[in-house]
Amino acid sequence: MSALTFTVKQETAQRVDMSPLVCQLLKDKSVTDIAAIELQNGKRKIRTDELFEITGSDTQNIVIKKSFSKLDFIAKELQDGSVTVVGEAGAYLGLGMKSGTVTVNGNVGLYAACEMKNGLLTIRGNAGDFLGAALPGNKQGMKGGTVLVKGNVGQRAGDHMRRGTMLIEGNAGDYCGSRMIAGTIAVMGHTGRFLGYAMQRGTLLLWQQPTLSATFNDCGSHTLAFLPILFKSFTKLDSKFAKKSVEFNRVRRYGGDMAEKGRAEVLVRLDKGITQNNAAFSAERFH
């Protein structure tokens, strides 16, 4: 059985709500039934076969080809199966995702992985603002699962994040980890201003030295035994995070945000050269 494939015939001027085209809602439906499903397109509704050419029949393996940035709510509340997007995706990708896998071979818009609960969401391009965040007015964002971004992310990634793991191979914008309640965000690239603003708990794992506010305390250098275990959990991923060369266990630890509960931590990688120099300096002091 081949994957159920939706190929865009022509891009629309208005945004499209893709939430009806998700694995659990299409289960046991025929291609004829799927073609007749109506999608909200701006102020009007359009049939699925008006926007897409439909091939294949495996509703638990969905592929969207020639996708563009106005296709919103792809894989909303996905419960099982897989969704692959060839092209770009709009806002609210994987909103409330409960299980399964979502892969996007391009850039995505605002609120990707918003309030995600479980599963694996991979973005091979860049992600917009509020990645893994809470919907406006809500107090809990991403609650579980793993988000992997191979490009850069916008502002407020992990805003109100409650649990889960967010892996960013590129740079993160301003307010990364803002109002974070728990969970882990790892960033290989550079981070913007106001990192960890109003963080309560959770961990920010960084490869580059950030600019931190005065409400984060420098807790010194540490060798953390849990980091090798954490990196080992990434080996199953198709990512830079899975490479042995990026692992480390020696960090500079900062505690904060002291304007909040102050139980969060920012862990910054220490280069081997710096670690060795510090060790030599300490040895000199005690002789």
pLDDT at 272: 66
Asked if the model's pLDDT at residue 228 lies above 70, the reply is yes
What percentage of the chain has pLDDT greater than the value 90? 93
Reported pTM = 0.92
pLDDT higher than 50, residue 280? no
Among 186, 160, 170, 150, which residue's Cα sits nearest to residue 265? 186
pLDDT of 47 higher than 50: yes
Mean pLDDT, range 95-99, rounded to an integer: 97
Would you say residue 282 has pLDDT above 90? no
Contact between 75 and 98 (Cβ < 8 Å): no
Mean pLDDT, rounded, for 15-19: 98
- Greater confidence (1 vs 3) lies with 3
Query: Residue 3: which region, alpha, beta or left (left: phi > 0; alpha: psi -120 to 50)?
Result: beta
pLDDT per residue over 141-192, tens digit each? Answer: 999 999 999 999 999 999 999 999 999 999 999 999 999 999 999 999 999 9
